[in-house]
Structure formats: C-alpha cells, structure tokens
Amino acid sequence: MISLDERSGYEGYRVEAENLVEFATALRDEFGYDFLSSATGVDYLPDEKMEVVYHIYKSTGGRALVFKVQVPRANPVVPSLVSIFPGADFQEREAWDLFGIRFEGHPNHKRILMWDGFAGHPMRKDWKEAYYEADAKPFDTRWPGGDVSRSEDKMVFNKNVAYPQDFTPENWTPEGETALYSGMQNIATDEDLQTEHVVVNLGPQHPSTHGVFRMVATLDGETIVKLEPVMGYLHRNHEKIGERNTYLMNIPFTDRLDYLSSMSNNFGYVLAVEKLLGDTTHIPDRAKYIRVIMAEFTRISNHLMAIGALLNDLGAYFTPMLYALKERELILDIFEAVSGSRMMCNYYRFGGVARDLPPGTHEMMRGLAFERLPRQIDELDRYLTENEIIRARCEGVGVLTPEEAIAYSAVGPVLRASGVPYDVRRADPYSVYDRFDFDVAVRYHGDVYDRYLVRLDEIRQSIRILQQALNSIPECDNCLGKPRYSMRVPAGEAYGRVEGPKGELGFYVVADGGPNPWRYHVRAPSFINLTALSKMCEGDKIADAIIVLGSIDIVLGETDR
C-alpha cells in the first residue's frame, strides 16, 4: 500500500491510488499534517506513467512530508483530495488541464488555465504547440552555427495548429461557460419569497480585477451568495517553456512571474536547484546576507504596492498610492544599482549572486533601513490605519477563519491575518534567517483590515531584519565565490520554498541528468490563495468583492503563469 520512494535522488513515499484518500486522511487526523502546500503533476513519458506529487506540512512548523501517486499514462485517474484538503481544488484542476490527470470525485472538474475549446493537455511531454521546434533549448536554429532565424518566419500561419475533430469556430458552443453559469444558478432559495438571483461578471479587463481576471458572482440583491474566480487570460505555459530552458535560463524567467517580487522569485528557484546540486554548491556568507537583504527589500516594496493598490480599490484613488510608490521607487533604485534593472532583476545565481554590491550601495541601504523607511512607514500608518472610512469598509469584510485558512492552503499575509503564525522563515528556516531576531506578524480577525495590518507589521519586521543584516554582513572583497553559470545537475527531485511577500513560493524541479529540467513547477501563492476567494466573499456585498480581492494581493503573471 505504501512504500518508500527509492529512486536515486528522490524522497518521500509512494502510495497506491486506491489508498490515497485513506492515507491523506490519516496524515491529517492522526499525524497532524493539516496543511497541503502543493500538488504537482509530472509526466514520466519513458515509463508510460503519470505522477502526482504532494507536499504536506504541519501548520505548527517543520519539514515537508512528500508522497506520490503513480497511475498509467493511458488512463490517469487519481482520487480527489478536495474533500480532505479544499486547497487541492485549483491544483487538481490545473493538473487535469495541463496533464490530463483526472481526479475522481472532484466537485468542479474542468479546465482552469486553458480556454474551454482547447484540445489536448499542453504539459504532456509529447504535446507539440504551434511553431514547435525542439524539446529543449538551445534550438538548432540558434546554436551552434550562429545562423539565427525565427522559426515562426518559416511557418505558414495555422499550418500546425490542430483543432479538435469537427470543430469550426462558427459552430462552437463554449461548454465550459455553460457549465460555469449553470453551477452559479444552482443555489437553494426560500420558497416563500419570490426572488431571482442575478449572475454578474466582474472583469476580466477591468482595473478592479487587477488586469486580466474575472469573477462570476451570483447575487441576491447586492449580497454575494456564490462567486467563482475565472483565470487563464494571461496563461503562456510558463512551466513548459521552463522545461525547455536550461537551468540558468530559468533565473531571469522567474522574474516574469510576480514582476513586483523578482528577487524573491530568483531566491526560491536557486534554492531548489542548489538542493539538487547538493554539497557541491558552496555559498559564501556574504552572498547569503545579500540574498536576504534583497528579499526583505522586495517584501517591503511589494507590501507598499499592495497597500497602495488596496486603497485604490477602496476608492481613495491616487494619494495613498503615491505615498507608497514614493518609497518603493527608492528601493527600486537599490535594485537597479546592484542588478542593472528595476523590476526584472535577474540577480541571484546558483552558488551566490551575480555580482557584489557596487560602491555606495551599502550606504544607500543603511539610509533607507535606519532612517527613512521607519519614519515614512510610521507616517503611512498614522495617515491610514485609523481612518474611519478604511475601518468601516474593511473590518469584518472577507473573513477567513484560521481553520478555513489552513484548509484552503492559504499562505502569507492571508494566512497570518487569520491568526495562524506560520511563516516559512521560522517554520522551516532557509539561508541565514535563523541568525536574525524578528517576530512573525499575526492578527486574529481574518478580515480585510487585518490583512492590511499584517502587511504593515511585516514591513516593520523586514526593517528589523535589514538593520541586523546590514550591521553584520561580512565585509570583504572578492569573497562571493564563483557563481555557477553552467553545471550538470544530478538526477533527482527537489522542492525549494521561500516566504515570498505573498506567501509560500515554491519551485518543484525534477532533473534527469540532462541540461534542462525534466519538470519545472511553480507553487504560486497568487494562484492558490484564490482558492479561498469564494469563501471570503460569500455573504458580503458586491462592492466588497473588489477589496477582498485587493486584500489577497495577486499578480496575474504569477496566477496564470
């Protein structure tokens, strides 16, 4: 029924599909593993197997327990774990959408990232997209002959686009839309009252939905009785591209996920690959400190943007946003000084960082961490926190209890505002975070207001970490070591995770010994936190849905990938 995963470089347990639900229930109820972090599909084409990999934790802290289910590739059917861990909802739909793994018993089994009429499952190893050239980079047209050309230029448009059999755009009826709307109307009503529910679309192209995101809400008057997030408008199969890149090529690629937090994205990915490299990777202390400093500046920068955007969603328009952006710009100055770029920083490397701090940067960072930021954050706090309109709009709205937050796999400020003091930097420390004194920010009402307060608290804690790191960073020249640009990654699997500004950001990487990852998966907090959006909105007013979404702090580049 259960066996150790004895493949070289792998860890955890292998469970038979028919025992999966019983095994997961026992882990939660008898062993305290109540937090399902990640569910990942993997296509082992040479073995004709599909695998689902689960990373599960105790919400009180500690390392992951990993278990896996393998099923035949020809008929991949796995029992759904949504009834045990509601946070598996979107992740199982993603594995179905991209790999074709069917989850028996899933309450809403349909595509989530691809459009309704899409044929096939694009993360399968034998799936070929339009303009397909090769399974892995560098492509022959670009290397080694140097005869550069665009493969698209050699194709006639539509030549290799495959439509489903008997499909014509004119006669196509979007079944997914029909299913979506029928599900939204299946709500019990009081028979004594002759009322009608109204289904309203919010988005996708609207500033209040943060770009390209859609909420389908069923309303009773102005009250939300059901809401379903609809995403995928920005999906570009980031993970498929990542599996064709070399390991190094993926570092700048991670910048594009959450473009407000590119340093944190770099951090999570290099940690995963360094785990695969094992003891062969030595990271000098100075590089470790620089990584932490950049990650904490990223957290402050992200939270300033999140607070400014939330106030924008509340209707305060530009003044609070400009207060927040002013400080964020100064942090971006530092990113530009060290990496040459303000947003897509591409600064971390396997074994360290790309280059040392340029002259004068240390003083700039000290000026921000010790002088300006503490003063400006206090001013922002005075300006916003006791504002009666903010309190009236945010308190008691979008409530998520601690039990619900854990069950829905919520992370970051969303989880901690619900009273769960779980922070990866403390629960499962990485890099040099165990050397710093800081508190895990936590609030207990689980509403929009507490999510705002947690972000404000976390900015202050990040400043504490920055002050300690800047005081204790090893001062030496040429002690960063030699960052690795080309290496052979041994076969195996690794999951690297960091406490990103939006919560646990994880990268699951499978190596087969070749120059490209066999599997490259992103555990995106923006994506998984949305699983709880409907629960947070039900019972609130339609106008509240906008600020509930704002309080989650999503970036669609990461949500859709």
Mean pLDDT, 10 residues at a time, over the chain (561 residues)? 85 91 92 92 93 93 92 94 93 94 91 86 88 78 65 62 71 73 66 76 82 88 90 91 90 90 93 85 86 95 92 84 90 93 90 88 93 93 90 92 94 94 92 92 94 95 95 77 72 92 94 91 94 92 91 90 87
- 38 close to 55: Cβ distance less than 8 angstroms: yes
Q: Report the C-alpha gap between 550 and 448 in whole angstroms.
A: 9
Q: Report the C-alpha gap between 509 and 271 in whole angstroms.
A: 10
Residue 127, judged by CB atoms within 10 A of its CB (0-12, 13-18, 19+), counts as middle
3-class DSSP assignment, residue 35:
strand
pLDDT at 108: 87
Q: Nearest Cα to 302, choosing from 502, 121, 136?
A: 502
Pull the structure tokens for residue 252.
């700048």
Residue 108, judged by CB atoms within 10 A of its CB (0-12, 13-18, 19+), counts as middle
Pull the structure tokens for residue 137.
């980079």
Q: H or E stretch including 294? A: helix 285-313
Q: Report the C-alpha gap between 183 and 228 in whole angstroms.
A: 10
Q: Do strands 13-15 and 65-72 pair parallel, antiparallel, or not at all (unpaired)?
A: parallel
Sequential DSSP letters for 303-363: HHHHHHHHHHHTT-THHHHHHHHHHHHHHHHHHHHHHS-SSS---EEBTEESSPPPTTHHH
Phi first, then psi: give them for residue 309, nearest 5 degrees: -70, -35
Q: Do strands 492-500 and 503-511 pair parallel, antiparallel, or not at all (unpaired)?
A: antiparallel
Q: Report if pTM > 0.85.
A: yes
Phi first, then psi: give them for residue 70, nearest 5 degrees: -115, 135
Residue 29, judged by CB atoms within 10 A of its CB (0-12, 13-18, 19+), counts as exposed
Exposure b/e, 40-61, CB count within 10 A at least 16 = b: bbbbbeeeeebbbbbbbbbbee
> Where in 434-515 does DSSP place strands (E)?
492-500, 503-511
Q: Do strands 49-57 and 65-72 pair parallel, antiparallel, or not at all (unpaired)?
A: antiparallel
Q: Nearest Cα to 183, choosing from 224, 228, 215?
A: 228
Q: Report the C-alpha gap between 340 and 342 in whole angstroms.
A: 7
Rounded alpha-carbon distances, angstroms, from residue 67 to 3, 71, 277, 509:
10, 14, 22, 15
Alpha helices in 115-225 (DSSP H): 175-185
Pull the structure tokens for residue 57.
């934790």
Q: Report the C-alpha gap between 85 and 409 in whole angstroms.
A: 8
Q: Could you tell me which residues come within 8 angstroms of residue 289 by beta carbon, excluding any fewer than 6 positions away?
A: 432, 469, 472, 473, 474
Q: Could you tell me which residues come within 8 angstroms of residue 81 by beta carbon, excluding any fewer than 6 positions away?
A: 20, 21, 24, 36, 39, 54, 88, 92
Q: Report the C-alpha gap between 507 and 8 in whole angstroms.
A: 20
**Helix (H), strand (E), coil (C) string for 123-144:** CCCCCCCCCCCCCCCCCCCCCC
Pull the structure tokens for residue 364.
């700039």
Phi first, then psi: give them for residue 390, nearest 5 degrees: -60, -45
- 464 close to 437: Cβ distance less than 8 angstroms: yes
pLDDT at 26: 93
